[in-house]
Structure 1
């Protein structure tokens, strides 16, 4: 499915490609698309489109920033309204351990977890909703959401733009990087839990 999206982005008119990118980035957190189609690959290919001269790189960056911030804000609102019921939603209840790790990371790191979560597909999909469910103040969430969106969007778009001819290597590296970040978070959560239980 992901390859079909990539092929579509490279074959359709630029305006349609930008719309697809915006929908995927928005839908990652707002509609939990991230469980099926990680938006970062589409964003990288947006940079490739810019490198090919089909669209302005600034326009791609703008579309990604806006879609990321609005999508995460919708995800935050979904979490705020649904509260604890969110983790029992059909799409999330199959990942109880990962959800618990994400919640523990959010409790410990707060806003920084929102920023770091942007760089991992799973966390990118669930962190906004979990932040809303935890009753984090929206203004605080928005600040870190914007920071994370700008950092992540710039990194992915510019990767595609400056290294378009090595795009297969780049998308593979993004997947590896996301896996490393998840592993680091899991180790940190386990270490914090160990310290807590030892001190009790």
Structure 2
């Protein structure tokens, strides 16, 4: 079976369901590659021989993001900041003290805008809902930022990748798969660079905490 035949055998609803599920679980607070799944599905939608539609991909991502963030908000509001202390002990690479401090600093500076912009930052995507709830942000403000952020992130990402895929096929018809792979690599590279920048900021906060702990001990 060829790759094209295999892709054509995948039901569109399965693609939409996968996008909604992965993005939703990531938004709930569990680290999953939501952005990579969204980009991959959007690339599939740019191939006209497949039944996957870009509007369906974008809508699935929005629904998953809004529902996942809302569930995360409810959990954070119920369990409060101690939730992150427990998660930090079990998953220090994702919920360590420096990660939480970085997210809290952004929330202090931006307020509800941190929920909106957090949709575009890998770290904040898993923190936005639970942390907004733990910090007792009003749900109406949270929901507005959540929905608008999900629409811009999911809609913008889907549209950008969809039209990039069309352009790749138009100009590189004989090498369309190479063009699609290049587009995926470009998207992943951008995400990795942004993640590294965030990691550096977290490392700086970690160093600050270590210095403060050293001064306190002295």
Instruction: Please report the TM-score for the alignment, with normalisation by the length of structure 1.
Output: 0.79
Give unmatched runs, 5+ long, in structure 2.
Answer: 1-5, 166-179, 207-218
Closer, same or farther: CA 168–15 of 1 in aligned 2, 3 Å: same
Alignment match, 1:3: none
Deviation at residue 88 of structure 1 after TM alignment: 1.7
Q: Match of 1:163, SS?
A: helix
Partner of 1:20: 18
1:80 and 2:77 correspond: yes
Assess if the C-alpha contact under 8 Å between 1:10 and 1:49 holds in 2: no
Asked whether 1:116 is paired with 2:143, we answer: no
Paired residues, number: 180
Give the 3-state SS of the residue equivalent to 2:44 in structure 1: helix
Q: Which runs of 5+ in 1 are unaligned?
A: 1-7, 191-200
Paired residues of 1:119 and 1:178 also in contact (CA < 8 A):
no
Point out which structure has higher relative CO (alpha carbons under 8 A, 6+ apart): 1
Q: Which has the larger radius of gyration?
A: 2
Mean alpha-carbon deviation: is it higher for 167-176 or for 86-95?
86-95
- Greater shift in the superposed pair: 134-143 or 15-24: 15-24
Q: In the alignment, which residue of structure 2 is the partner of 1:46?
A: 41
Which range is displaced more, 137-146 or 83-92? Answer: 83-92
The residue number in structure 1 matching 2:189 is 172
Q: CA deviation at 1:131?
A: 0.5
Secondary structure of residue in 1 paired with 2:81 = helix
The answer to whether the Cα contact below 8 Å between 2:15 and 2:52 also exists between their aligned partners in 1 is no
Change (3 A) 1:178 1:155: farther
Q: Distance in 2 between matches of 1:122 and 1:78?
A: 18
Change beyond 3 A, Cα 1:11–1:156: farther
Backbone CA RMSD of aligned residues:
2.7
Q: Give the 3 Å change call, closer, same or farther, for CA 126–171 of structure 1 in structure 2.
A: same
Residue range with higher mean Cα deviation, 169-178 or 111-120: 169-178
